[in-house]
Structure 1
């Protein structure tokens, strides 16, 4: 059986006010062709199908058209699992219809593990593999809230609960595999949408703050034949284990992903043979580039930059390494590319520590992330480092909660908003926070 692993499509994403619709359309067309040429039997999409919980209509159309298009290939089954960006309600709204097209959608974990453990069949209709379809696991799915727990205890409990779910699903899969055994148990494939310890992340990845769990240890994964993961946008192995893989996103979702080779993973599974994994490179559908240096160097690099194909525009990130603070920086760079099919989406400055101190007062909010703004304000307070670290962690948790509101069904948003307000009130009453209340805000 030939399996294709992809993830993190993020349909509907707007990249610095730029739509990715054309790129996603081109990718999905390429993917259908690849599935046909590679004679793929089963497709796994390991989460983050959409970029937000309320994807635009064109994103849903791309998704639905793809599911119709795959019917013209020999692909026998499609397995879709939800990610942290996906709304369970949105994914499940078309689940019944898609099931008629041999598309199984698992937006959230189920009370019955049998619903998450699927039997994949070959072209002759015979069982060929067992698939444990495990989506992004939210804390409320596996844990009940407990009072007076430390952050460490919350992390340990949550990690163990997620590990238990994987182990329990694997046991159910083993039982099914044994039932279909032809002298040797069928191969078992698992999915997941989470961050693993020691793996490479990128600017576009929205950190998953599940309780205080930021990464999952590879030791907790069961010994499946292949584990198809999503969430991290760079294709990579987990802990140098070739059977635990992130396929990565199909298009660069941030400028720091430009050096990554975007790919899908083709996995050959057989009862009598070891697995074989092949990466298939995805073409770049939108020209993008990062240019670094001082103004003289940047001008030279822009003049040497390869022009895009007719009708295309290259999106640019400009990183300026300049001693002086230039108030007209944007206009200077725009003048350099005035007659070229280039478009600047992002300009930032690289500064030495001394320059950062001297020029901090001249910074604009557009040059800083929300976390950097919070850190600058926090630096003005006379607090112990441990308390500052705790406040930064609380800040990240609140931002994550606010981000997750966007991925929930509309009827849950008011509940989530109340939860965030409760967190803020708890922090305001915290003894460590009292010193901040007395300090003047700037």
Structure 2
């Protein structure tokens, strides 16, 4: 029996206002082909199906079209749980209809742990897998608020609540297995942050609970679990160095911080001839559907890299972080000129030096709220030791820009 573990699709996610529908469609096309090639029996999706709780029509269309196609494939079952980005009610709404396609959706807990235990059967009606489909556990689901609680009290109660919930659900699964056959594997799913998990700056991972509370110790999960399929962290990784406790990671880079990350899905295979044997795990790398690249450095470094990408006929989306000493007032125009005639596209430009210098100057002389717009500009010039000749030109450009903005405000009143 083959099982494919994926998570954190974030359908509908944009990147600096750039829509990514084509990437999502390309991923799902690849995923369908992989399911057919690998003869996958069960697909597990461990949360964050959509990027927001109110996904747009196009995002929904992509999602339901994929489910329609996968239901017609060799895959017998799809199990989906809600993540912290998902609306439990929205995800669960078509649940009864999706069941007819053997798509099982668990958006929230019901109060009865047995409702999160799914018995999956093969084409002959024999039970082949038990899945503990635990959705993202929200604070209100697992913790009773009491007056005067400390931060430590809240964290402890959250962890205890999550531990107890998994114990109850897995115990219900254990009872089902005892009544059916001791050789049936038990898989658990979840969407949470296990302590020690690796993240990347800019990967979009939000804290699930209050502040940085409730990073869950790996030891809370019951030992009866034959494979733990987790979502939330975007970096593919083992949990506590265990081969059978894993984050599959996000299939697409959510931000430029993930641009160089190898994305994958987890293929889990149980040998049904050996009762409850440890599964074989294999990672299948996901192709890059839209290249992303973050370019950092001075102007020479940036121009050189852009030139190399142009020579490669790259179609990458770029994030430019300028860190040079030279003040370049027309940085955006220079960059656009540098990519002209290529298939490159710049989605974001950040001038780190000007920002840091301006902030340092502001910190020395008062808060931003205490300074006028012109005073901020003047301090920016002073902080960067701009020559008097260049200052004259920059002040002229600044005043023209300010006048233009004021004129726009007047016209819209």
> What is the TM-score of this pair, normalised by structure 2?
0.82
Q: Which residue of 2 aligns with 1:241?
A: 242
Instruction: Select which of 319, 322, 325 maps to 1:320.
Output: 322
Which residues of 2 match residues 54-65 of structure 1 at below 5 A? 54-65=54-65
Please name the residue that 2:340 is paired with.
338
1:274 and 1:299, CA in 2 relative to 1: closer, same or farther beyond 3 A? same
- Over 3 Å counting, the alpha-carbon distance change for 1:304 and 1:214 in structure 2 is farther
Residue 193 (structure 1) aligns with: 191
Distance 1:94 1:252, change over 3 A: same
Structure 1: 5+ residue runs without aligned partners? 364-375, 379-442
Counterpart in 1 of 2:106?
106
Q: Check the 8 A contact 1:208/1:214 in 2, yes or no.
A: no
Q: Distance in 1 between matches of 2:24 and 2:84?
A: 19
Q: Distance in 2 between matches of 1:348 and 1:198?
A: 31
Return the offset for 1:276.
0.4
CA shift, 1:176, in A, is 1.1
Displacement of 1:348 in angstroms is: 2.2
CA spacing shift, 1:377–1:173, aligned 2, 3 Å: farther
* 1:119-174 Cα deviation digits (max 9, x unpaired): 12234331112100001000111122111000111011011101110111111111
- Output one character per residue of 1:352-388: Cα deviation in whole Å (capped at 9) or x when no partner: xxx876332689xxxxxxxxxxxx889xxxxxxxxxx
Structure 2: how far apart are the matches of 1:274 and 1:96?
Answer: 33
Contact 2:248 2:266 in 1 (8 A): yes
- Indicate how the Cα distance of structure 1 residues 63 and 361 shifts in structure 2: closer, same or farther if over 3 A, else same: same
Deviation at 1:113, TM superposition (A): 1.3
Q: Deviations for 1:287-330, whole angstroms, at most 9, x for unmatched residues?
A: 22121221012111111116677xx8420011222123433222
Aligned partners of 1:130 and 1:187 also within 8 Å: yes
2:281 maps to which of 274, 277, 280: 277
Task: Give the deviation of 1:112 after TM superposition.
Answer: 1.2
- Map 1:271-310 → 2, pairs under 5 A: 271=272, 272=274, 273-305=277-309
1:22 Cα deviation after fit? 0.4
**Residue of structure 2 in register with 1:69 after alignment:** 69
**Could you tell me how far apart the structure 1 residues matched to 2:304 and 2:63 are?**
42
Distance in 1 separating the partners of 2:109 and 2:116: 7
Distance 1:332 1:362 in 2: 27
Distance between the aligned counterparts of 1:234 and 1:130, measured in 2? 27
Give unmatched runs, 5+ long, in structure 2: 370-413
211-220 or 339-348: bigger deviation: 211-220
2:334 & 2:222 partners in 1: Cα distance? 56
- Find the aligned partners of 2:44 and 2:99 in 1 and give their Cα distance: 15
CA RMSD of aligned residues (A): 2.1
Output one character per residue of 1:225-273: Cα deviation in whole Å (capped at 9) or x when no partner.
1100011111111111111111111111111111211111100023513
Q: Which residue of 2 aligns with 1:413?
A: none
For the residue of structure 2 that corresponds to 1:299, the secondary structure is helix
Preserved contact between residue 319 and residue 349 of structure 1 (Cα < 8 Å): yes
2: CA distance, partners of 1:87 / 1:76:
26
Distance 1:167 1:255, change over 3 A: same
Equivalence for 2:251: 250
Q: 1:12 to 1:139 in 2, by over 3 A?
A: same
Counterparts of 1:340-419 in structure 2 under 5 Å? Answer: 340-350=342-352, 358-360=357-359
Separation (CA, whole Å) in 2 of partners of 1:321 and 1:143? 46
- The secondary structure found in structure 2 opposite 1:19 is coil
State the match for 1:208 in structure 2: 207
Distance 1:358 1:32 in 2: 50
